[in-house]
Amino acid sequence: MNKEKTNKVLDYFEELFPDAHCELNHQNVFELLVAVMLSAQTTDKKVNQVTASLFKKYPTVESFALASLEDLQNDIKIIGLYRNKAKNLKKMAQVLLEEYNGEVPKTRKELESLPGVGRKTTNVVLSVGFDEPAFAVDTHVERISKRLGFAKKDDTVNDVERKVCRSIPRDRWNKAHHQFIFFGRYFCKAQNPNCKECHLYDMCKDKIKEVRK
């Protein structure tokens, strides 16, 4: 993606979604980490439904670490993969207590060492929680990146992240990440993209069908 096309995309996203932001409800970095861990293969809306009561029942790292696995499973049962997510939440909280004095670490290496925490979750926590430049690739970002030509149809998630970060200036990663998500979630949807009103249609009209998911 050349600079001219990249700027066209970013300017359009800024016009459409100047206030794009993380839609996972949280009050601190630990709650953000929990919410992002829960968000795999489910919607932010569903996660927010769960965390509304979850964070009241378990307000601290210690309370997650001490919770019974059965209780945690029941508390998040309405979202997908709840058994594995409950196990990872408990283990993650235990590691924070044992190795980080109950604080969420601030480095990529340390974050990715936590149970259940991969690159996408790490990128979100670094970006939203610590305001460090990072670009998380979820299903929306991957789809939009391939539709607009930042990446190729068969690129892996890591390929997409690398290519998008190479095209977009580092100081715009954090905001652009949310704008990519908003564009994919509310405008250029997976099955019903709003092509007729899109100012970027000429950039993706040849790709829109081949990367539709």
Q: For residues 116 and 155, what is the distance between their CA atoms, to the nearest angstrom? A: 24
Question: Which residue is associated with the tokens 């990128």?
Answer: 123
Under DSSP, the state recorded for 200 is: T
Please pick, among 138, 146, 163, 175, the residue that the annotation labels catalytic.
138
138 in catalytic set: yes
Copy the structure tokens of residue 103.
Answer: 């604080």
22 belongs to an annotated ligand binding site: no
| Contact predicate 62/102, CB 8 Å | yes
165 belongs to an annotated ligand binding site: no
Q: For residues 174 and 9, what is the distance between their CA atoms, to the nearest angstrom? A: 15
- Provide the angle, in degrees to the nearest 10, between the axes of the packed helices 29-38 and 44-57: 130
Please work out, in degrees rounded to the nearest 5, the angle formed at the alpha carbon of residue 128 by the alpha carbons of 126 and 131. Answer: 65
Phi, psi torsion values for 193, nearest 5 degrees? -65, 145
| Contact predicate 163/150, CB 8 Å | yes
Please pick, among 85, 90, 120, 163, the residue that the annotation labels catalytic.
120
Q: For residues 4 and 105, what is the distance between their CA atoms, to the nearest angstrom? A: 37
Active site residues: 120, 138
Binding site membership for [4Fe-4S] cluster: which residues?
Answer: 188, 195, 198, 204
Binding site membership: which residues?
Answer: 188, 195, 198, 204
